Amino acid sequence: MPKKKLYRLIVDALQDAKARDIVVLDVRKVSDFTDYMVIVSGTSNRHVASTADKVIEKLRAHGRRPVGVEGVDLGEWALLDFGEVVVHVMRAPTRDFYNLEKLWSDAKIIKVK
């Protein structure tokens, strides 16, 4: 599956789950472990967990399984690693604290429609 189609499927699943403030970063020039990073906020621990589950389900329906999954049970911050795309689903206070967009500020921001 092409990388852009992969992150587009992820964004579609996030939008279906009513995730907030979706940001896609093109980190190909600044990272050697992934090509795209998707950062999104959930409104509660339950919303973070259910949003992560929706992404996994949608990609599984397209034949993709995550390489790794962390934090879904706790719901504060879920990390989904699909190889070429890494997804961070966080509660807003956690996202504000870690400020990944600033940490990866050298990456190109891709507009989400």
- For the whole model, what pTM was predicted? 0.93
pLDDT-derived band at 84 (thresholds 50, 70, 90) equals very high
CATH number at residue 32: 3.30.460.10
Per-residue pLDDT for 113 more than 90?
no
29 exposure class (CB count in 10 Å sphere: 0-12, 13-18, 19+): exposed
112 exposure class (CB count in 10 Å sphere: 0-12, 13-18, 19+): middle
79 pairs with which residues across the strands?
A: 70, 88
pLDDT at 110: 92
> Rg for the chain (alpha carbons), in Å?
13
For the record, the structure tokens of 8 come out as 């587009």
pLDDT in tens, 44-66: 999 999 999 999 999 999 999 99
- Do the Cβ atoms of 49 and 72 come closer than 8 Å? yes
pLDDT in tens, 9-36: 999 999 999 999 999 999 999 999 999 9
Range of the domain at 81: 3-110
Q: How much is the average pLDDT of 69-79?
A: 93
- End-to-end Cα spacing for the chain: 21
Domain count, the chain: 1
